[in-house]
Structure 1
Amino acid sequence: MQDLTSRLFTLARPRLLSRAARIGADDYSRSRDLKRLLGAAIPNRQSLLLIRLLDLEAEQDAARRNSSPGSP
């Protein structure tokens, strides 16, 4: 498994997806959005939280690459 820094530096997404994320960041509410994404299991440590979010994002990216939008 890669360490957190390596995962962040190797993260590459299409320009349109990155742009949409930047636009969506304006409406980001940490407490609301993390609860929606992670349910009640929100890690206390930021590094664990970031790893969990990266894992979720990797699942979504795999679904995107396999043309399966909306897959869990």
Structure 2
Amino acid sequence: MVVSSSLLPKMDTVDDFEPVCYFADGRRGYSLKYMRREELLTDVLHQYERYIRMIANSKHNLYLFDKKNDET
């Protein structure tokens, strides 16, 4: 087991990370947990193509913001 390896620093807690996509525009995200590498790459390209189509269409108003710096 990697976590109990003597070569690693001691860990006090165990954290689980789950790959999940999410959208800032309010759409529901989805789990990427069981996607193969090829499926994940295809999904990223699909979402990018969707974004490019939306910004090319003048009827969509897209606002880009940074939540971290928007709190002021």
TM-score, reference length from structure 1: 0.41
Which has the higher Rg, Structure 1 or Structure 2? 2
Bigger helix share: 1
TM-score, reference length from structure 2: 0.41
